[in-house]
């Protein structure tokens, strides 16, 4: 595993995170020091094959038990680490890669074309609005939750983007993980659960197989 002191660039960037930034590129938080305009360069970090050992993308996607025609919103999609994988797993579905960084949106659109991922659409989001064109079965946020300003309002807004039975999956670094951003930049899973509950969601599932991150799945609470 990679210690913070010798972390790759995306973890170093986390140490400078601006916590009030909107949902930015997944695994690439907003910082004062870094711009995420150079998507080609960031792709070498975010899509490094070494990341697979601890991010376990295949296991994450399996745990979500997606139907072949599922519609997915990857909020903070960045260069498409998860979006591209989702596209291959839902051949009859659609994947919206959502990001606020224009160059990341451009990169993902070009990647989808290059890799012939016809079911991937890159979405230029606003910090307070993912601008999804339709309701989805799954919203996923990987290392993005702690960058969302006014999370209460944002989470309530997301309910309107979910189909009946739709889910929100949140993956982020644990407070006690030896890897990841500074502890001051992390949000404990209990706080995530509390915030989702106040926003009208109920915890549906919790997975513990990721070595550095918690993996929580929520659904709108039944009235």
Residue 122 has pLDDT above 50, yes or no: yes
Greater confidence (25 vs 70) lies with 70
Mean pLDDT score, 29-49: 48
Q: Kindly indicate the confidence band of residue 20, based on its pLDDT and cuts at 50, 70 and 90.
A: very low
- pLDDT at position 21 is 34
H helix or E strand, kind and range, residue 170: strand 162-173
Strand order in the sheet with 71-75: 120-124, 94-99, 71-75, 136-142, 162-173, 213-220, 201-207
Residue 181 has pLDDT above 90, yes or no: no
Residue 29 has pLDDT above 60, yes or no: no
- pLDDT at position 123 is 98
CA gap 32, 17 in Å, rounded: 8
Q: Kindly indicate the confidence band of residue 104, based on its pLDDT and cuts at 50, 70 and 90.
A: very high
Residue 215 has pLDDT above 70, yes or no: yes
**Helix (DSSP H) and strand (DSSP E) numbers for the chain:** 8, 7
Overall domain count for the chain: 1
CA gap 82, 218 in Å, rounded: 19
Residue 28 has pLDDT above 50, yes or no: no
Residue 22 has pLDDT above 50, yes or no: no
Query: In CATH, what number is assigned to the domain containing residue 114?
Result: 3.40.50.150
- pLDDT at position 179 is 81
Range of the domain at 20: 4-220
pLDDT mean across residues, the chain: 83
Mean pLDDT score, 10-25: 34
Strand partners, 171: 142, 215
Residue 36 has pLDDT above 80, yes or no: no
- pLDDT at position 180 is 81
């Amino acid at each position: 595993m990679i210690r913070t002191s010798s972390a790759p660039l995306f973890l170093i960037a986390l140490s400078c995170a601006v916590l009030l930034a909107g949902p930015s590129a997944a695994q690439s938080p907003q910082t004062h020091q870094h711009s995420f305009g150079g998507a080609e360069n960031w792709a070498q970090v975010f899509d490094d094959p070494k990341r697979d050992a601890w991010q376990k993308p295949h296991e994450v996607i399996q745990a979500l038990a997606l139907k072949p025609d599922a519609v997915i919103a990857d909020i903070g999609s960045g260069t498409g680490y998860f979006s591209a994988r989702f596209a291959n797993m839902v051949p009859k579905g659609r994947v919206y890669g959502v990001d606020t960084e224009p160059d990341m949106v451009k990169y993902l659109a070009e990647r989808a074309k290059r890799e012939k991922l016809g079911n991937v659409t890159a979405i230029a989001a606003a910090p307070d609005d993912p601008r999804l064109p339709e309701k989805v079965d799954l919203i996923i946020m990987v290392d993005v939750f702690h960058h969302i300003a006014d999370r209460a309002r944002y989470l309530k807004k997301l309910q309107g983007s979910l189909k009946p039975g739709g889910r929100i999956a949140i993956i982020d670094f644990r407070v006690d993980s030896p890897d990841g951003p500074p502890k001051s930049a992390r949000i404990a899973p209990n706080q995530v659960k509390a915030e989702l509950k106040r926003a009208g969601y109920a915890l549906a599932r919790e997975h513990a197989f990721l070595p550095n991150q918690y993996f929580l799945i929520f659904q709108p609470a039944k009235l």
